[in-house]
Amino acid sequence: MTTTVKEMLEAANAAVPRVSPAQARDMMAKGDTLVVDVRDAPEVQGSGKVAGAVHVSRGMLEFRADPQSPYHDKNFAKDKTVLVYCASGGRSALAGKALKDLGYGRVYNLGAFKDWADSGGAVEKV
């Protein structure tokens, strides 16, 4: 079965709810929330990241998130709420869908880093 990026994004957006920066701040304030930046390293170095976020490039996400992987990152736990973001929301939608497919139940797409920063969200330089 052939598919397109457009179809993949539609499926991801249907599976992973998009949240506003304000909603994300509320989730983060409750604790037990993992924030994941899936942008590439040069993007993160150039702009910083959401304060407290874990940086895992999109290409390594499944390896870091799967507890059975030798590359598993202990920050990932299926009982946490996970907020994923990128530069515009596309990679984070696909990343969120991948996390859902791996069994993560509470996954949300924060969308674009710029929207977070422009809303006054805390940013840390790397």
| Residue range 68-111, pLDDT digits in tens | 999 999 999 999 999 999 999 999 999 999 999 999 999 999 99
3-class DSSP state of 37: strand
Please state the φ and ψ torsions of residue 66, each to the nearest 5 degrees. Answer: -85, 115
How many structural domains is the chain composed of?
Answer: 1
Instruction: State the pTM of this model.
Output: 0.95
We report the CATH number of the domain holding residue 100 as 3.40.250.10
Kindly report, residue by residue over 108-121, the tens digit of the pLDDT: 999 999 999 999 99
Residue 1 predicted with pLDDT over 90: no
Contacts of 108 (CB under 8 A, 6+ apart): 16, 17, 18, 19, 23, 24, 27, 81, 82, 83, 84, 96
3-class DSSP state of 123: strand
- Position 2 confidence tier, pLDDT thresholds 50, 70, 90: confident
Residue 63 predicted with pLDDT over 80: yes
- What's the chain's average pLDDT? 96
Structural domain boundaries, residue 79 = 5-124
